[in-house]
């Protein structure tokens, strides 16, 4: 049923030093030379994995948006000694009145691992733009955190999203998270583009590495929502150890408000937050024509009201436009199905992970091909999104540093370094985007772009236009 099995170590990335910028057809290949070494996972006794003190203390506390519009939060945490309580006590800043919300608990087995008690509690009917404190746990081992609700959904509400993908739990991961936290352009909510713990790389996919990951990221995600996307490392599928339910650890540990957007599965859903409409897609669930995800997206896109939420953002794990020799063309089958809609509905930006490097595309589309007409190359298209690969969180698999040459025209900027990004919406026409590599000081921007909204201000915002 669950034999001990050594997981095959995936191909180790060749330790080649990045070539300096070469003349090419496309945009910029950064000449920044990063040491290609990768750091291993932080050891189990690391400070960031410390179990909070006290009997049955809540750990791995994390929050995400709990409804369609940002007036609810899902609070999740784990207790290990006993079930404890599913209650969240919460109160607005400066208010002495404490509200109580009751949640649920679950647990699961994975091979020879048994999880702790995983609690999920939706806190509803919050006021917009308000700081709330919340408390979980019972007796003398309660823990208190806080979050700030977003402003009311509306067209000119400034809001800053952070972006991290493929984080894992190495020393590099810790650097990425620290840089995100210390970035002076403070992210208020994080858009996470998939591949969380990389626990599945351990023998028997040792799920204690899900617990360490939960404790590692708590310092951020207990205080601001992370909007979750599922990646291939969330599949956790291994027939040889009898684990054949896709997404088992992920879906027990990370609840999302998918029913609020009429989704029928937690892997694709949408939320509105401030001036943004965020659509999360699943690269690892069926997406072909007539699939549940297909029908959901088909009904979803016409609902986006750009007068209410000007900014249309899509998250997925596997990128459609990528010019690294890693996962090359893996997003192609999904692109073929959905790209015409992205152009029709003028998606502003698509964020993906999976490739452990950074890349930003031009506004391009590739939707003209009909098998016989030969029109199969991407072309410049002002109604198309910018595609950004931000899978550079720093996980144990190391950097993707082998790029296709010459740099394709659709690629505006690419660099094999770990880092994170922020997307700062200013109003309905302008958003400022910047990417930060880990080697730099916290405020340094290694790549940046002013985004002009595709609905309200659809003029050329390319950074490389001649
Ligand atoms: C919690 O309370 C119990 C019983 O009152 C006590 O034995 C224990 O030391 C306390 N734990 C902490 C962390 O204060
Ligand atoms: C709460 O109190 C603090 C300190 O007195 C004050 O700065 C803050 O504006 C108050 N917040 C609200 C929502 O009243
Ligand atoms: C699961 O089995 C592996 C291999 O025998 C062992 O190293 C590990 O400690 C076991 N884990 C648990 C929780 O029993
Ligand atoms: C992780 O980063 C934090 C913040 O910079 C630091 O306090 C901590 O010691 C680091 N832990 C490890 C294991 O590197
Ligand atoms: C979900 O479906 C119901 C019933 O068809 C509809 O009333 C509701 O408006 C839908 N919600 C969203 C967010 O589309
Ligand atoms: C779109 O949103 C605007 C602003 O909130 C609102 O006035 C308008 O009625 C909405 N349109 C539709 C079709 O719901
Ligand atoms: C880069 O990838 C290409 C295509 O997969 C491969 O042929 C080449 O050997 C790789 N180069 C290095 C240095 O790994
Ligand atoms: C929107 O924000 C941009 C960038 O901050 C600014 O230049 C522009 O004037 C703003 N538009 C309006 C209508 O305020
Ligand atoms: Fe991935």
pTM of the model: 0.94
**Quick one: which atom of ligand 8 is closest to the CA of 427?**
1
- Which are the contacts of 214, defined by CB distance < 8 A and separation ≥ 6? 59, 60, 62, 78, 197, 253
Query: What are the tens digits of pLDDT across the range 139-181?
Result: 889 999 999 999 999 999 999 999 999 999 999 999 999 999 9
Residues paired with 403 in a beta bridge: 324
Q: Is the CB of 94 under 6 A from ligand 2?
A: yes
* Average pLDDT of the residues in 299-319: 98
Q: pLDDT grade, residue 17 (50/70/90)?
A: very low
In the block, residue with structure tokens 């509306």: 154
* 33/17 Cα distance (integer angstroms): 7
Residues paired with 310 in a beta bridge: none
To the nearest whole number, what is the mean pLDDT of the chain? 94
In the block, residue with structure tokens 């019972």: 138
Residue of the nearest CA to atom 4 in ligand 3?
4
Residue of the nearest CA to atom 5 in ligand 7?
325
Q: pLDDT grade, residue 6 (50/70/90)?
A: very low
* Average pLDDT of the residues in 112-116: 98
* Average pLDDT of the residues in 333-362: 98
User: What was the pLDDT predicted at 16?
Assistant: 29
For residue 308, give the nearest of 152, 155, 151, 150 by alpha carbon.
Answer: 155
- Please give the distance, rounded to the nearest whole angstrom, from the Cα atom of residue 11 to the centre of ligand 7: 12
In the block, residue with structure tokens 């490392």: 233
Q: pLDDT grade, residue 320 (50/70/90)?
A: very high
* Average pLDDT of the residues in 132-144: 95
**Quick one: which atom of ligand 1 is closest to the CA of 54?**
13
Residues paired with 145 in a beta bridge: 134
Alpha carbon 298 to its chain's center:
22
* 315/331 Cα distance (integer angstroms): 13
- Reply yes or no on whether the pLDDT at 4 is more than 50: no
* Average pLDDT of the residues in 267-278: 98
* 229/315 Cα distance (integer angstroms): 7
Give per-residue burial for 275-310: e unless 16+ CB within 10 Å, then b. Answer: bbbbbbbbbbbebeeeeebbebbeebbeebebeebb
For residue 342, give the nearest of 370, 310, 364 by alpha carbon.
Answer: 364
Asked about 252 being catalytic, the answer comes back as no
Packing angle, helices 332-344 and 292-300, rounded to 10: 20
Q: 92, 93, 132, 149: which to mutate for ligand 2, most atoms within 8 A of CB?
A: 93
- Please give the distance, rounded to the nearest whole angstrom, from the Cα atom of residue 402 to the centre of ligand 7: 6
- Reply yes or no on whether the pLDDT at 20 is more than 50: no
Q: Which of 120, 179, 252, 327 is catalytic?
A: 327
Q: 204, 208, 240: which to mutate for ligand 3, most atoms within 8 A of CB?
A: 204
- Helix, strand, coil shares of the chain, percent, nearest 5, are 15, 30, 55
Q: 19, 402, 403, 405: which to mutate for ligand 7, most atoms within 8 A of CB?
A: 402
Q: Is the CB of 113 under 6 A from ligand 3?
A: yes
* Average pLDDT of the residues in 288-313: 98
Percentage of the chain surpassing pLDDT 90? 91
User: What was the pLDDT predicted at 464?
Assistant: 79
Kindly provide the residue ranges of all beta strands, DSSP E only, lying in 198-316, ordered along the sequence. 226-228, 269-273, 276-280, 311-315
Residue of the nearest CA to atom 11 in ligand 6?
305
* Sheet strand arrangement including 447-452: 226-228, 189-192, 159-164, 419-425, 430-437, 447-452
What length does the chain have?
Answer: 466
Query: What are the tens digits of pLDDT across the range 389-425?
Result: 999 999 999 999 999 999 999 999 999 999 999 999 9
Q: pLDDT grade, residue 13 (50/70/90)?
A: very low
Percentage of the chain surpassing pLDDT 70? 93
- Reply yes or no on whether the pLDDT at 432 is more than 90: yes
- Which are the contacts of 96, defined by CB distance < 8 A and separation ≥ 6? none
Query: What are the tens digits of pLDDT across the range 23-46?
Result: 346 789 988 766 666 789 999 999
Q: For residue 255, which phi and psi values (nearest 5 degrees)?
A: -90, 140
Alpha carbon 68 to its chain's center:
18
Residue of the nearest CA to atom 3 in ligand 7?
325
């Amino acid at each position: 049923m669950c034999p001990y099995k050594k997981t095959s170590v995936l191909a180790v990335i060749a330790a080649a030093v990045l070539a300096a910028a070469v003349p090419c057809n496309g945009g910029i290949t950064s000449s920044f030379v990063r040491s290609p070494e990768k750091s291993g996972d932080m050891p189990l006794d690391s400070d960031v994995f410390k179990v909070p003190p006290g009997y049955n203390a809540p750990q791995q506390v994390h929050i995400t948006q709990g409804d369609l519009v940002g007036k609810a939060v899902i609070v999740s945490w784990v207790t290990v000694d006993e079930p404890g309580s599913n209650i969240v006590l919460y109160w607005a800043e400066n208010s002495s009145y404490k509200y109580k919300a009751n949640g649920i608990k679950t647990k699961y087995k994975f091979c020879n691992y048994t999880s702790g008690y995983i609690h999920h509690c939706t806190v509803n009917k919050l006021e917009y733009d308000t700081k709330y404190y919340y408390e979980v746990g019972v007796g003398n081992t309660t823990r208190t955190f806080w979050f700030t609700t977003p402003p009311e959904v509306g067209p000119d509400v400034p809001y800053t999203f952070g972006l991290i993908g493929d984080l894992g739990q190495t020393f590099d991961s810790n650097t990425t998270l620290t840089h995100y936290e210390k970035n002076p352009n403070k992210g208020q909510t994080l858009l996470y583009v998939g591949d969380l713990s990389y626990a599945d790389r351990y023998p028997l996919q040792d799920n204690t590495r899900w617990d360490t990951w939960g404790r590692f990221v708590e310092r951020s995600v207990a205080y601001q929502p992370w909007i979750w996307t599922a990646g291939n490392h969330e599949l956790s599928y291994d027939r040889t150890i009898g684990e054949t339910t896709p997404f088992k650890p992920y879906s027990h540990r990370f609840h999302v408000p998918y029913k609020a957007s009429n989704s029928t599965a937690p892997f694709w859903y949408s939320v509105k937050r401030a001036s943004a409409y965020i659509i999360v897609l699943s690269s690892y669930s069926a997406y072909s024509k007539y699939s549940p995800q297909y029908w959901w997206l088909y009904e979803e896109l016409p609902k986006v009201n750009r007068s209410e939420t000007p900014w249309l953002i899509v998250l997925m794990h596997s990128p459609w436009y990528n010019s690294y020799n890693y996962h090359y063309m893996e997003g192609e089958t999904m692109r073929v199905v959905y790209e015409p809609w992205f152009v029709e509905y003028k998606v502003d930006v698509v964020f993906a992970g999976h490739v452990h490097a950074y890349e930003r595309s031009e506004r391009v589309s590739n939707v003209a091909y009909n098998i016989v007409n030969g029109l199969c190359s991407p072309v410049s298209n002002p109604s198309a999104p910018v595609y950004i690969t931000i899978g550079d969180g720093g996980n144990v698999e190391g950097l993707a540093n082998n790029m296709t040459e010459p740099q394709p025209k659709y690629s505006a900027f690419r660099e094999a370094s770990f880092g994170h990004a922020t997307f700062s919406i200013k109003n309905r026409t302008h958003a400022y985007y910047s990417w930060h590599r880990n080697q730099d000081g916290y405020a340094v921007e290694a790549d940046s772009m002013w985004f002009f909204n595709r609905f309200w201000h659809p003029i050329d915002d390319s950074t490389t236009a001649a």
